[in-house]
Structures are given as structure tokens and as C-alpha cells.
């Protein structure tokens, strides 16, 4: 989840929780305040009526006492008690045809020695309607406030975080081997400017280290060619000298094997350097099927030595726009890898379907490490003749043309698939 969305979501969750808790509390508090006001009015009405009730008791005209408000009633009791009781009840209203909430004050007191009970009722319908309308208005205002805060926060956050996303996009497009400096825009936010300066400095140091490492590889590979050639020629001359014991011949043979392996390593490093420097710029339409058939003929001896069962199922005649030499190296390295790490009497399946070129081979019964298999100097088996650069070279070629090289272990077969490799 993006940082902006995560921040907004937390604000939104907090606001919703606050809204759900605040509205009921507000309703209850306002209701209690209204009831307190109604109770005060009822008590005040009682105090206003007591003098009239006392006068009527003296004149013995209590039964003739009339009240303009029909919600007031007075009666004489035989039990002398002094109390005030307040209660909320619902009374059926014939005019509206429904129950209406009322607040009732029941007060017992004595006047001139006669115990009386006064009951005063008042309707709460208007008060509760007012409370409901207040709650609705407040709810609408809070929703509008929440929506406004959400929109303002989102737009403001996008504006504030704009330089960050610009820097992130620039970093995603930055490629260290393009030999261009990382240039980031200035921002009005100090923290983003500090971040940009740190990233620019880091990119400069990384590019300098990359250039130095590449120059060292180029120079070392170039300087190693002559000594290796001399070593090979001297070893061949030494093999032809006499007398030569069996022990000496074995040692010289081992030295020759090591020299040839070092020569292959040097050629592979030079090839990697040339690929990364984009020295293969002769782009043309290359048909893959003839390339694979030619490679199968070249590796026919190695295939026969291991008695491998090779099946090639090409699909349509598909071509790709790339350098022919790199296409041959890519397919050749994958095929050589399938032969070298296979078992005697094993199988190799080669298919070209849709936008996929796949080579599967039998071999070890356990899958390889997908995280390391395409790294340099990582060997996929126990072959001592392997230098661990074949798959790294193939992966580098795929990266140049934005292909995807995948490894999978299916039905005890090690499969290497080049995806999106074809173009009409």
C-alpha cells in the first residue's frame, strides 16, 4: 500500500470511529439537557400553582378549580406524604393516533393541613423532534467535514509528496550503464532536497565505481590474452619434448586444461563486457528455428557422447529483431548448459511456441536455486569444466532486449524459458 493511501486511511478510520462514538453521546447529552430544562419548568409550574391550590382549599372550592392547561390535575388524598416524582411515559394521542412521549411531575404536599397530589404533564414530542433535527444537522455537518478533510488532505498530500514521487520515478528510470548523471529537481521542502542531494551523490559514487570496475575488467581481460596464448603455446611445445615421463605428461596435461579453462573464462568476461558496452549493435531480423538447428549440428558430437534424446518442436517460423551474434550466443549457452548438466541417456526438449523459447533437460533430481542461478560464477551442477558464466551471459542478453529469462523445475526437468523474445 502506498504511503499516501496508508496515511489517509488511518485518518479516515479514526474519523469514522470518532463519528460513531460522538453521535450517540451527543444525542444522550442533549436529551438529558432538554429533560433537565423540562423538569425545571415543571417544578416552576408547581410552585406557581401552589398558592392557587392553597386558596381553593381554604375556600373549599378545590373541585371548582379550573386550569387553562388540561395537563394539570389536583386531588385530595388521605395519606400525608411529601415527595416529588419525575417520569417519562408515553401516552396515546387520539389526534395523531400514536403514542406521544410525555414528562410527568407528580408532587405530594400538604396545604392547610390537607394532603394534596398535584400532577403536571408536558409533551416531549416537540423537544425530541428538535433533538433529532439537531443530531441530523450535526451528522450532516460532520460528514461534510470528514469528506472535506479527506479531499483536502489527499490533494494537499499529493502536492506535498509530488517531489518524492518525481524522485522515485527518476530513480526507477535511471540506469547506471547509460553513463548519464542522476539529476533531480529542486523542491520547496528541505527534507526532499536533502534526500535528492544524497541520492545524487550516491549515484555518482556508484557510477564511478561501476566505470572503474568495468575498466578494470576490460583491461585485465585484454592483458590476460597474451600471457594465456604464450602459456598454451609453451605447454604444447613442452609436451613435444623428449624424454617425457608419464608423471610429467600428466602434470603438463593438467596445466593445459587449466590454461584452456582460464582462456574460456577470459573470453567469457570479454564477451560480457562487450555486451554490457552495447558493442553488438547490428540489429536485424533473425529467425530462431535455423539458429537452433545449426546449434544442434554443432553440438552433435557432445549429444552423441552422452546418448541424449533431443526433441525439437518449433512452432511457426518466428523472427526477432536483434543482433544475430547475440541470438546465437543466447540459444547456444542454453543448449550447452542443457548438454553439460545432463545425465548419460538423458533428455532435452526444445520448443518454440507463441512468444516463448524453452529448453528443458534432465539432470539432478532437485531444483536449482532460482535466486542465484543467473549470477556470475554460480555453477548449476558438479561439472568442473563449467566456469559459471553461461547463464549469466544469457541473462545479460535478455536484459538488453527486455526479455525475461525464467527457470522452472517441472516433471524432474530443468527448464529455461525466454519470454517475450519474439517480434513479428
Summarised one tens digit per residue, pLDDT across range 213-246 is 777 767 776 677 777 777 778 777 877 777 778 8
CA distance 398 to 356: 12
Is the distance from CB of 318 to CB of 288 less than 8 angstroms?
yes
How many C-beta atoms lie closer than 10 Å to residue 368's C-beta?
19
Q: What digits encode the pLDDT tens for the residues 253-287? A: 878 877 777 777 777 777 777 776 666 767 788 88
Q: What digits encode the pLDDT tens for the residues 284-320? A: 888 888 999 999 999 999 999 999 999 998 776 677 7
Closest by Cα among 304, 305, 302, 362 to 332:
302
Is the distance from CB of 388 to CB of 333 less than 8 angstroms?
no
> Does the domain formed by 3-157 have CATH 3.30.450?
yes
Q: Per DSSP, which regions of 65-160 are E strands? A: 72-76, 83-93, 98-111, 114-123
pLDDT at residue 306, as a whole number: 92
Give the three cell numbers for residue 249: 605428461
Most confident of 56-60, 213-217, 361-365: 361-365
pLDDT at residue 287, as a whole number: 85
Q: What digits encode the pLDDT tens for the residues 97-112? A: 788 888 888 888 887 7
pLDDT surpassing 50 at residue 36: yes
Listed in sequence order, the DSSP H helices in 277-413 are 288-298, 300-305, 324-340, 390-400
Residue 337 or 354, more confident: 337
Q: What digits encode the pLDDT tens for the residues 377-416? A: 776 655 556 667 788 888 888 888 888 899 999 888 999 9
Fold of 283-419: Heat Shock Protein 90 (3.30.565)
Span 140-161, average pLDDT: 78
Ranges of each domain in the chain:
3-157, 190-276, 283-419
Q: What is the dihedral of CA 71, 77, 83, 88, to 10 degrees?
A: -30
Buried b (16+ CB within 10 A) or exposed e, 131-164: beeebeeeeeebeeebeeeeeeeeeebeeebebb
CA distance 355 to 312: 16
How many C-beta atoms lie closer than 10 Å to residue 309's C-beta?
13
pLDDT, the chain, mean: 81
Query: Which residues on adjacent β-strands are paired with residue 323?
Result: 283
pLDDT over 70 for what percent of the chain? 89
The CATH architecture of the domain made up of 190-276 is: Orthogonal Bundle (1.10)
Amino acid at each position: 500500500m502506498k504511503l499516501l493511501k496508508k496515511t489517509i486511511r488511518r485518518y479516515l478510520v479514526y474519523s469514522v470511529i470518532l463519528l460513531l462514538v460522538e453521535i450517540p453521546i451527543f444525542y444522550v447529552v442533549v436529551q438529558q439537557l432538554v429533560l433537565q430544562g423540562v423538569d425545571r419548568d415543571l417544578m416552576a409550574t408547581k410552585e406557581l400553582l401552589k398558592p392557587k391550590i392553597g386558596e381553593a382549599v381554604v375556600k373549599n372550592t378545590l373541585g371548582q378549580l379550573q386550569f387553562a392547561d388540561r395537563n394539570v390535575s389536583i386531588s385530595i388524598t388521605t395519606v400525608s406524604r411529601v415527595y416529588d416524582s419525575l417520569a417519562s411515559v408515553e401516552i396515546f394521542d387520539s389526534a395523531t393516533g400514536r403514542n406521544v412521549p410525555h414528562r410527568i411531575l407528580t408532587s405530594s404536599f400538604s396545604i392547610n393541613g390537607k394532603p394534596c397530589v398535584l400532577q403536571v404533564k408536558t409533551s416531549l414530542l416537540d423537544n425530541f423532534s428538535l433533538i433529532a433535527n439537531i443530531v441530523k444537522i450535526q451528522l450532516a455537518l460532520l460528514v461534510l467535514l470528514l469528506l472535506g478533510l479527506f479531499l483536502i488532505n489527499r490533494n494537499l498530500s499529493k502536492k506535498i509528496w509530488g517531489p518524492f514521487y518525481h524522485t522515485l520515478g527518476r530513480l526507477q528510470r535511471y540506469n547506471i550503464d547509460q553513463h548519464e548523471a542522476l539529476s533531480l529537481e529542486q523542491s520547496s521542502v528541505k527534507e526532499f532536497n536533502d534526500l535528492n542531494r544524497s541520492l545524487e551523490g550516491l549515484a555518482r559514487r556508484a557510477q564511478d565505481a561501476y566505470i572503474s570496475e568495468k575498466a578494470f575488467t576490460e583491461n585485465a581481460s585484454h592483458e590476460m590474452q597474451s600471457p594465456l596464448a604464450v602459456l598454451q603455446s609453451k605447454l604444447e611445445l613442452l609436451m613435444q619434448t623428449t624424454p617425457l615421463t608419464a608423471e610429467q605428461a600428466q602434470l603438463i596435461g593438467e596445466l593445459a586444461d587449466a590454461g584452456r579453462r582460464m582462456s574460456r573464462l577470459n573470453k567469457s568476461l570479454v564477451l560480457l563486457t562487450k555486451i554490457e558496452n552495447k558493442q553488438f549493435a547490428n540489429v536485424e531480423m533473425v529467425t530462431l528455428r535455423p539458429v537452433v538447428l545449426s546449434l544442434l549440428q554443432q553440438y552433435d558430437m557432445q549429444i552423441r557422447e552422452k546418448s541424449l534424446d533431443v526433441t525439437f518442436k518449433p512452432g511457426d517460423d518466428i523472427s526477432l529483431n536483434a543482433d544475430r551474434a547475440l541470438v546465437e550466443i543466447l540459444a547456444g549457452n542454453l543448449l550447452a548448459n542443457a548438454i553439460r548438466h545432463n545425465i548419460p541417456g538423458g533428455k532435452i526438449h526444445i520448443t518454440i511456441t507463441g512468444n516463448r523459447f524453452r529448453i528443458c533437460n534432465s539432470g539432478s533430481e532437485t531444483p536449482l536455486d532460482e535466486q542465484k542461478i543467473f549470477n556470475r560464477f554460480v555453477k548449476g551442477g558438479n561439472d568442473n569444466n563449467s566456469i559459471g558464466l553461461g547463464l549469466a551471459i544469457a541473462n545479460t542478453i535478455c536484459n538488453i532486449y527486455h526479455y525475461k529469462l525464467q527457470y522452472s523445475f517441472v516433471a524432474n526437468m530443468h527448464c529455461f524459458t525466454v519470454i517475450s523474445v519474439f517480434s513479428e
